[in-house]
Amino acid sequence: MLTKLLIANRGEIACRIIKTARKMGISTVAVYSDADANALHVQLADEAVHIGAAPSKDSYLQAQKVIDAALQTGADAIHPGYGFLSENANFATLCADNNIVFVGPPVAAIEAMGSKSAAKTIMQQAGVPLVPGYHGDDQSEAILKQHSDQMGYPVLLKAAAGGGGKGMRQVWKAAEFSEALAAAKREAMSSFGDDLMLVEKYLTQPRHVEIQVFCDSHGNGVYLFERDCSVQRRHQKVIEEAPAPGLSTTIRQQMGEAALQAAEAIGYVGAGTVEFLFDADGSFYFMEMNTRLQVEHPVTEMISGQDLVEWQLRVAAGETLPLQQSELRINGHAFEARIYAEDPDNDFLPATGLLSYHQPPQESAHVRVDTGVRQGDQVSVYYDPMIAKLIVWDEDRHKALQRLSQALVDYRIKGVTTNINFLYNLSNTKAFQQADLDTGFIEKHQQQIFQNSTQDIEASLPLAALYLLLAQEQQSLAAHAHRADRYSPWNSHSAWRANEVHQQVFELELYQQQYRVSVQQVSRGEERYFLIDSGKRQVTASGCLSNETLIAVVDGHRISAKVHQDNHDYSIFGREHALHFSHVQPDFGLHNSSDHPQGFNAPMNGTVVALLVNPGDSVEKDQPLLIMEAMKMEHSIKAPSAGKVSEFFFQAGELVDGGAELLSFEAETTAKETP
Ligand code: ADP
């Protein structure tokens, strides 16, 4: 049995591992960087050791410093979590050299799976089905292109050392090959220090289905079923679920056995995940094996009733697997939604800032929140911007999805931009409810998910105005309740005046645009309704608001929705999407109302990678002008309209601070202004 465990990680996964270790009576040691001195994982652990400066290359990736911390505190084992040193064979070797148990597979297994190319060669020999492609050593552009041409487009370029969707580019036609290869290699080199590439046939509508395997050092192996991780942005998982909807028992078994075959081929021990692409016709192809605990492991825990970190610690201590295959069962359905500090409306650009308000939903048998942050913490540029994993469980997919939707409504964050609204809209699309999944899901359903078509705005404005009006009435009633004269007109916040046509005008902001909506109250005896005119559409509406629920009837269509108000910001959580808007307060001349300057500012601290046009060249709307790299991902700055760049303020290779102006742009004057 292990007695003291050092966790070579941070954030939610460090906290999650500490919880299980504590449950098993194992004491814990955290490591931390300058940026994490007061982090949650440091507070939860029994001891903590400082290992360096904020950038991970100076702290969490410093293998020797981590080993020294273990030796200094007398830890007999190290759990690497995921990311950082978790799949680093040198680190595992260093642990062994220092008589420290590495909670992970043998060094040889990590090495075997470390390169996607080498892994494919091993799997080919072991008879595991592969996606057609080229994973050879000859890396000349001519050879890579020749294989792509032969295979036929689209193809996918992948960094052999890749992970997290980085160093990957789709190529749709031969003419795009050269540019895509350069970009993929550049990203791979900066992320992994290695730009070896492989090419695969790009399957256009596959699902990502992965199998959780577990092996002990006594020759036993089991699979704990599958997870469907098809919903991805930038080839990175956003919502995962278990079991995979619609997978037959036969295919589940075939995939489980193929995954175990893959594990056996490399003498695997511990927790591992074999990722497959699953095609519409039921065929599946090996993609890669991750030799560590996955971010999305909680969905497997929820449906199997097992604690995978406990299994890892037992196996690392030399015990046999707690259960055999025949003892494992799937119970119910689970989802995990990754709550990120990022801006879905701006190409999912990572966001940073102070988490000034953080209120996750209440945890229960149905809701689990794995997080490593608290209110008041900083989401910094140094690490992955994931704030939490929201995990829900229920007896079947339909019920679990309702839990997910409710938990997303209840998840409240302020201070940083998050993807919560995006997750809510996504999980409430019909296609997601019907489990019509594939890896192109987000692109395919972007209209509903990002919900900003003219039609949506027309439908949203009257509802927003109605809610605002009812909320205003509610506030004024509450104010009256505290006054001596409850009926004094001086306490009224509304614009209603006795014996007049009651009209009130609201300035609303939604999707970064302002709208004026006028509301007229009509009273007929006991009956009261509103005529709402948004300039785009006139409707008749009535409704009531109580206990954060809005019941509204707009042109005879009744809806009931959860609502939330935070100062001047309002949210309506409808059946298919959430609507967020603000009530613009009258400007009493305090603000300069001149037009907003055209923003070409660096989205965050980073490096200018390339200038794509020459100053003075004519460019088209949406043409990329400049590429920046921040948090190891490339972001392009695009032309907002036809025009030309008059000047770039930085050259390729220069470091820029977040917010710095990157270039000046002149819009083409003859172009028609779009409102
Ligand atoms: P990483 O290790 O960077 O996460 P993976 O090889 O696991 O990269 O692939 C990530 C995702 O990219 C997959 O889940 C899938 O959506 C997509 N993908 C990978 N290979 C292919 C392919 N050949 N065809 C279509 N999509 C693919």
User: Which tokens go with 556?
Assistant: 């005879």
Distance CA 33, CA 50 (A): 6
Backbone conformation region of residue 111, classed left if phi is above 0, alpha if psi is from -120 to 50, else beta: alpha
Tell me the whole-structure pTM to 2 decimals: 0.82
Distance CA 50, CA 62 (A): 12
- Mode of pairing for the β-strands spanning 513-524 and 527-533: antiparallel
DSSP label at 674? P
Residue 55's pLDDT is what? 94
Distance CA 484, CA 487 (A): 9
Better-predicted residue by pLDDT, 79 or 486: 79
Q: Which atom of ligand 1 lies closest to the CA of 116?
A: 6
207: in domain: no
Q: Please state the rounded mean pLDDT for residues 321-343.
A: 97
Beta-ladder partners of 343: 349
Q: Please state the rounded mean pLDDT for residues 439-462.
A: 85
- Give 596's pLDDT tier (boundaries 50, 70, 90): very low
User: What's the CATH code of the domain at 607?
Assistant: 2.40.50.100
CA 278 to chain centre: 22
Tens of pLDDT, residue by residue over 516-539, are 999 998 888 778 899 999 887 899
Better-predicted residue by pLDDT, 269 or 641: 269
Residue 149 Cα to ligand 1 middle (Å): 20
Amino acid at 336: E
Distance CA 277, CA 286 (A): 7
Out of 399-408, 448-457, 571-580, 600-609, least confident range: 448-457
Residue 510's pLDDT is what? 85
Same domain, yes or no: 511 and 549: yes
Q: Which atom of ligand 1 lies closest to the CA of 167?
A: 3
Q: Whose CA is nearest to atom 18 of ligand 1?
A: 235
Pocket flag, ligand 1, residue 322 (CB < 6 Å): no
Averaged confidence pLDDT in the chain? 90
pLDDT over 90 (residue 573): no
Residue 160 Cα to ligand 1 middle (Å): 12
> Quick one: which of 16, 2, 52 has its CA closest to 31?
52
Q: Please state the rounded mean pLDDT for residues 411-434.
A: 93
User: Which tokens go with 211?
Assistant: 């199998």
Pocket test for ligand 1, best of 82, 148, 277 (most atoms within 8 A of CB): 277
Q: Are 26 and 19 in contact (CB under 8 A)?
A: no
Out of 236-250, 407-421, 451-465, least confident range: 451-465
Distance CA 129, CA 114 (A): 19
Pocket flag, ligand 1, residue 232 (CB < 6 Å): yes
| Residues sharing a CB contact under 8 Å with residue 170, sequence separation 6 or more, in sequence order | 154, 155, 156, 157, 180, 202
Residue 453's pLDDT is what? 61
Q: Whose CA is nearest to atom 19 of ligand 1?
A: 287
Peptide bond into 154 cis (omega under 30): yes
356: in domain: yes
Distance CA 152, CA 342 (A): 35
Same domain, yes or no: 90 and 147: no
9: in domain: yes
pLDDT over 70 (residue 588): no
Exposed / middle / buried, residue 442 (Cβ in 10 Å: 0-12, 13-18, 19+): buried
Tens of pLDDT, residue by residue over 163-183, are 888 899 999 999 999 999 999
User: Which tokens go with 655?
Assistant: 């470091």
> Quick one: which of 274, 291, 232 has its CA closest to 130?
274
Same domain, yes or no: 323 and 470: no
Q: Which atom of ligand 1 lies closest to the CA of 275?
A: 7
Q: How many CB atoms lie within 10 A of CB 400?
A: 24
Residue 427 Cα to ligand 1 middle (Å): 22
Same domain, yes or no: 425 and 486: no
423: in domain: yes
Same domain, yes or no: 525 and 604: no
User: What's the CATH code of the domain at 559?
Assistant: 3.30.700
Furthest CA-CA distance within the chain: 88
Q: Number of folded domains in the chain?
A: 5
Same domain, yes or no: 93 and 32: yes
Which residues have a catalytic role annotated? 292
CA 639 to chain centre: 27
Residue 632's pLDDT is what? 61
Residue 48's pLDDT is what? 98
Q: Are 84 and 9 in contact (CB under 8 A)?
A: yes
- Mode of pairing for the β-strands spanning 4-7 and 77-79: parallel
Pocket flag, ligand 1, residue 200 (CB < 6 Å): yes
Better-predicted residue by pLDDT, 98 or 629: 98
231: in domain: no
> Quick one: which of 594, 591, 613, 595 has its CA closest to 662?
613
User: What's the CATH code of the domain at 8?
Assistant: 3.40.50.20
Same domain, yes or no: 527 and 473: yes
Residue 200's pLDDT is what? 96
> Quick one: which of 520, 518, 538, 516 has its CA closest to 529?
520
Report the Cα–Cα distance between both ends of the chain, in Å, rounded.
68
Q: Whose CA is nearest to atom 22 of ligand 1?
A: 202
Residue 590's pLDDT is what? 38
Give residue 23's domain range.
Answer: 4-103
Peptide bond into 55 cis (omega under 30): no
Residue with tokens 């273990």: 70
| Residues sharing a CB contact under 8 Å with residue 423, sequence separation 6 or more, in sequence order | 238, 239, 337, 339, 408
- Give 455's pLDDT tier (boundaries 50, 70, 90): low
Out of 101-110, 188-197, 450-459, least confident range: 450-459
311: in domain: yes
121: in domain: no
Residue 7 Cα to ligand 1 middle (Å): 29
Residue 514's pLDDT is what? 87
User: Which tokens go with 289?
Assistant: 């094996």
Same domain, yes or no: 315 and 386: yes
Q: Are 273 and 286 in contact (CB under 8 A)?
A: no
Pocket flag, ligand 1, residue 154 (CB < 6 Å): no
Same domain, yes or no: 338 and 445: yes
> Quick one: which of 293, 319, 323 has its CA closest to 305?
323
pLDDT over 90 (residue 674): no
- Domain termination residue (choose one: 523, 549, 583): 583
pLDDT over 50 (residue 593): no
Question: How many percent of the chain have pLDDT more than 90?
Answer: 70
- Domain termination residue (choose one: 583, 609, 625): 583
> Quick one: which of 80, 70, 82 has its CA closest to 27?
70
Considering just the CA atoms, what is the radius of gyration of the chain in Å? 28
241: in domain: no
Distance CA 94, CA 216 (A): 21
Q: Are 51 and 33 in contact (CB under 8 A)?
A: yes
Q: Please state the rounded mean pLDDT for residues 79-106.
A: 97
Same domain, yes or no: 445 and 493: no
Residue 238 Cα to ligand 1 middle (Å): 14
Q: Which atom of ligand 1 lies closest to the CA of 159?
A: 3
Tens of pLDDT, residue by residue over 144-161, are 999 999 999 999 999 999
Residue 673's pLDDT is what? 39
Same domain, yes or no: 566 and 612: no
Q: Please state the rounded mean pLDDT for residues 575-585.
A: 83
Q: Which atom of ligand 1 lies closest to the CA of 133?
A: 23
- Give 491's pLDDT tier (boundaries 50, 70, 90): low
Q: What is the DSSP string of 85-104?
A: TTT-HHHHHHHHHTT-EESS
Residue 604's pLDDT is what? 73
Same domain, yes or no: 262 and 295: yes
Better-predicted residue by pLDDT, 511 or 484: 511
Pocket flag, ligand 1, residue 156 (CB < 6 Å): yes
Q: Please state the rounded mean pLDDT for residues 596-624.
A: 81
- Domain termination residue (choose one: 410, 429, 449): 449
Residue 670's pLDDT is what? 53
User: Which tokens go with 516?
Assistant: 């004026």
DSSP label at 35? G
